[in-house]
Chains A and B, each alone.
Chain A
Amino acid sequence: MRTLLALLLALLPAAAVEPPTVSVSLNSGAPRMAPGAPWIAVTTVLLEVDPEAPAPLEDEAPPALEFVVTNEQGEAVAADWLRRELEPAQELYGFREERLIWTVKPEVTQALPEGRYTLIVRRGDAQAPPVEFELKADEPGDRLLLSQWEELEGRPDAAMAQVDAELVEHPESVPALVRKAELHERAGHIDEAVAAMEQAMRASNSDGSEPSQLQHRYLELMAIWGQ
């Protein structure tokens, strides 16, 4: 019986030991974007958990995330947020991270006037530090952002086309080469992924004074080859 009880307790989610940390980033932290650019928001709810203590059984689901976008006048702006759940919550190193991706279509943002905006995300009593950004008509398009958008929309070829267009203009762009490797790896094209990462490392000006994240990614790819 005691074994069964222990097993049941082990199956319960771990108890949170502090209030959740709610955060949001929009378009990878870009301070400016053009009307008509997609909005890709990543929300994270981070809980520190005590694996020794089982969580109390809750009757209610955790509070939903609430999105509010306001303009310079503090008026709420209509934005049709689409929730995209790519991964289940992960528990690691004593934390539980619930990560969600939300998007707003380009045709929705296209209708918004230029100006400053604020994105506020709440989850019950917890609120993420607000994200402030500006819509500017002459802001150049971000092809790597569009590449993410295309991938989220299920169009990997279009995602790669955006990266390739960026590389035509900036052949030594490390973020673009890393993105290219990422897309190739996800498609199972390891040779091409390694080649792109090789190019990224050649293009990098890192002086080795800090551990190279490109080298780390490269090693991950090489590990697939057993190296």
Chain B
Amino acid sequence: MRRNILCWLAVVGASIASGQSIRPINGVTSWTGTVHYTAQGSGSQDNGSSVETWKIGATAHLTVRVDWNDQAGWYEGTVLDGHVSLEDRHEEVSPYSSSLLRTSADEDLVTNWDGTPRHFVIQVNRNQQYALLQIDPLVNARQITQTNSTVTYDAIQAVPWYNGDDAGYVYHSVAPGATELTGSYDSVGRSQYPLTGNVQPNYTWHVEYSFQPTGQSEDDEVVVTSDAYDEFRPQAAPDGGRGNVIAFKAVLQRKGGGAPSQKAVKFEWALPQVSREPGFAMNVPVADAGSGVDLRFEASNDLAITDGDGLAAETPAGLRTESTAAVGSYDWGGWGSLRVVATLEDGKRVQGVFVATGDTDIRLPKRAADSRIAEVWRKAHTAGSDDADDEGDPVGDGNPGDGLTVYEEYRGFLENGAHIEGDTAKKDYFIRQEAGGGYDIGVKVFRNLTGLVVHSRFTAAEFPESRVMNANYSQGPHVVDQHGVRIIADARWSDAAQAVGGPGTPGMIKGVYVPPMTATMSARQRVYQAFALAHELLHSCNVYHHGDHADHSVFWRNDNGVDTEYDYITSGKDIDPASGRPIRILGENQQPWPMPLPPNGVRIVLGSQQGPHAGSDICVMRYDVSNAYQALSDASVRYKVREIFGTLLCHDTPGTGVNDASHQPQSRYGDSDAGRGNCAGQILVNDAVTAPQR
């Protein structure tokens, strides 16, 4: 493009030097108008050992005012308003690897990428022909390199959003006396990413523009209204079809009201900027989410769709003074902008102005210029900027956020067929509960203990294999792939439930495996298993045991009238006969244990100090399977006990109840180990944070 500008300056300079007269078009010294750009392209290349595919989609619009520069002999000015939305993808897949290169932008175009004003020029030649020329085509774009699912590069870089070749040299003629510059043309663009063999994919830019003399009084105007604008919040149907619809009405009238001076031969509606977020909510569909438009015009008797994506529509033939357009929403987080232009009987084009805001490009939904979120939703929620993730409730380990941006919470999720939103004030947590309803109580206990907002009713079609709950993103603000946790009933975990991969944040948890809860299982056992699940789910938000000093499995038997303790050679299997040692078994009342040992002996778990039985004895994270402990004052004395499982979450580290320092005859297992305990103060759910080890 820089090369093009230099060539063009040379041509202009040569024209001036040759003394040819270049003057304002039809005497108009200032023009104001709009330029709209759209581009679509895709293709693939089979290299034998790999297949490359590329796809580009972009829309942009500029509102520009240019003034005649007599010295230079052209119109020059700056962009008053504008926006570009683009995505350029290159994917290469072979049997051994895959890579994805992607550039995307969703940027306002009022200023340059470096903050300077964005310039625009209308060049004029001695034949009174003109050409449009963009001087500043760079924008801040997000560039991502992804190889075999690992993002290796993710940065913001200034890239050309419009690199149509020689676009500045497309000259257009204008009729003598005409007071409008209007028309369209195509030019060729090139992808950022060349294919193997240095083949550079080309695509077509389609450009439409319309300029009128600045400040010139016009007889007629087009006013646009919408009764539902203030309350419109985009939705989608549960199957991804159309959710809700908003209608706009454009009326051609004399300026200030009254019958227009002439009628319109057609009204043209357009959605120059529309989001194409994958899927229709953050988690659905879980595969092949596509990148279809999120807002589109709905056809009616009075409106025909004129492009395949439903982004343009116009009235059928016939004179009229008004038109109504319905925009359907197909995504819970869709956004875009709408405009309408009426073409009058004399060929003049009048752009619609939205009565509520004075804008010609009407933001959908009603939202701030720097936001994609409907204002009506923001009014009902306390939320920061679209990309914020700063919930502090529950406080947990002090790390804010739940891995979801405000926009992602707003766009929401599908859970058991119904749309839900994230909670912008509290941390959200996602579960796929595959272990049967008997475990529901464990999930609810986990929810109540942690204060997290737990979503646990997802169906298989709503919970992706990757467990990434916010996988469907493109231009929408995203800070991290936030994972859900699967609860899986598996007979191989009949001994102990386990959060495989934990403790850690949800992204680290391969699955929470629990024993199947059978139909014939006793109620007592079911409750125990449910609380075991709550325990494991806490590991799935980086909560640790109260201590890791190992308990000891031993075997007690009465040998010839002497209570004897044996070690196991291998854990829990065969006893070591040589390890036998006499012990005295007492109750905590210091009296001998009243019941004789069973004839075949008994398995015992001796809980240890600062082990997993330590700390607060009401905490669900504390173990409860010890049935004896060794006296601190006499190594041969064993106190026989029965533990009770905890049902709360501790907020401190010292031992309480049976572990209290004042407990008699001693604190059973002592305080929580260093760095452990205060389980409520360990909770961490945000996958963006590296989980601290304790």
Contact = CB atoms under 8 A, between A and B. Distances in A.
Nearest to A96: B441
Given A28-B518, A213-B529, A219-B627, A178 B437 contact: no
B489 A101 contact: no
B549 to A, nearest CB: 12
Given A25-B438, A29-B436, A129-B457, A207 B571 contact: yes
A210 B496 contact: yes
Given A95-B444, A216-B528, A23 B436 contact: yes
Interface string A1-27: 000000000000000000001111100
Contacts of A182: 520-522
A175 B605 contact: no
A209 interface: yes
A43 B647 CA distance: 24
A129 B416 CA distance: 6
A74 interface: no
Number of contact residues on B: which range applies?
35 or more
A178 B494 contact: yes
A193 to B, nearest CB: 12
A29 B495 contact: no
Interface stretch (A53-61, A104-112, A198-206): A198-206
Most chain A beta-carbon contacts within 10 A, residue among B433, B435, B491, B515: B491
Best-surrounded residue of B434, B436, B521 (most CB of chain A within 10 A):
B436
Interface string A187-227: 00000001100101110111111111111111110110111
A42 B624 contact: no
Interface in B330-371: none
A208 B437 CA distance: 27
Given A148-B519, A227-B595, A219 B625 contact: yes
B441 A211 contact: no
A22 to B, nearest CB: 8
Contacts of A93: 441, 445, 647
A92 B527 contact: yes
B556 to A, nearest CB: 9
Nearest to B417: A127
B459 A226 contact: no
A11 B157 CA distance: 69
A190 to B, nearest CB: 10
B523 A208 contact: no
B495 A216 contact: no
A211 B437 contact: no
B416 A211 contact: no
Interface in B441-495: 441, 444-445, 448, 457-460, 489, 491, 494-495
A69 interface: no
Interface string A27-45: 0110000000000101110
Contacts of A219: 625, 627, 642
Interface in B526-579: 527-529, 532, 535-536, 550-551, 553, 571-573
A60 to B, nearest CB: 24
A46 B437 contact: yes
A21 B600 CA distance: 46
Contacts of A202: 572-573
Interface string B584-608: 0000000000110110101101000
Contacts of B571: 207-208
A125 B435 CA distance: 23
Nearest to A103: B519
If over half of B's interface residues share one DSSP class (helix, strand or loop), that class is named, otherwise mixed; here it is loop
A37 to B, nearest CB: 14
A206 B573 CA distance: 11
A198 B495 CA distance: 12
Q: Main secondary structure on chain A at its contact with chain B?
A: mixed
Contacts of B518: 28, 144, 148, 179
Identify which of A42, A179, A220 gathers the most chain B CB atoms within 10 Å of its CB.
A42
A128 interface: yes
B440 interface: yes
B138 to A, nearest CB: 49
Interface in A37-85: 40, 42-44, 46, 48
A94 interface: yes
A42 B612 contact: no
Contacts of B598: 194, 222, 225, 227
A165 B448 CA distance: 43
B496 A211 contact: yes
B459 A129 contact: yes
Given A151-B520, A208-B550, A215-B625, A29 B435 contact: yes
A198 B523 contact: no
B459 A46 contact: no
B220 to A, nearest CB: 53
A22 B524 CA distance: 21
Contacts of B416: 127, 129
B495 A44 contact: no
A46 B623 contact: no
A42 B647 CA distance: 25
B463 to A, nearest CB: 10
Interface in B635-692: 640, 642, 647
A152 interface: yes
B442 to A, nearest CB: 10
A212 B626 CA distance: 10
B525 interface: yes
B250 interface: no
Contacts of B441: 46, 92-93, 95, 97
Given A93-B445, A206-B495, A226-B595, A213 B515 contact: yes
B496 A28 contact: no
B693 to A, nearest CB: 15
B386 to A, nearest CB: 30
A98 to B, nearest CB: 10
Contact of B437 (A25, A195, A216, A222): A25
A175 B521 CA distance: 12
Given A97-B441, A202-B573, A213-B528, A148 B520 contact: yes
B517 interface: yes
B496 A198 contact: no
A211 B520 contact: no
B296 to A, nearest CB: 28
A226 to B, nearest CB: 4
A183 B223 CA distance: 80
Nearest to B416: A129
Given A127-B417, A225-B595, A211 B498 contact: no
Nearest first, the 3 closest Cβ-Cβ pairs linking A and B are A23-B437, A25-B436, A44-B437
Interface of A: 21-25, 28-29, 40, 42-44, 46, 48, 87, 90, 92-95, 97, 99, 101, 127-130, 132, 144, 148, 151-152, 174-175, 178-179, 182, 194-195, 198, 200-202, 204-220, 222-223, 225-227
11 contacts: A28-B517, A42-B437, A42-B519, A95-B441, A127-B417, A129-B433, A209-B498, A211-B496, A212-B605, A216-B528, A219-B627
Interface of B: 416-417, 433-438, 440-441, 444-445, 448, 457-460, 489, 491, 494-498, 515-525, 527-529, 532, 535-536, 550-551, 553, 571-573, 594-595, 597-598, 600, 602-603, 605, 612, 623-625, 627, 640, 642, 647
Given A25-B517, A215-B605, 20 more contacts: A23-B440, A24-B437, A25-B436, A28-B517, A28-B518, A42-B519, A92-B441, A95-B444, A129-B416, A179-B518, A182-B520, A195-B600, A201-B603, A207-B571, A211-B532, A211-B624, A212-B495, A222-B627, A227-B598, A227-B602
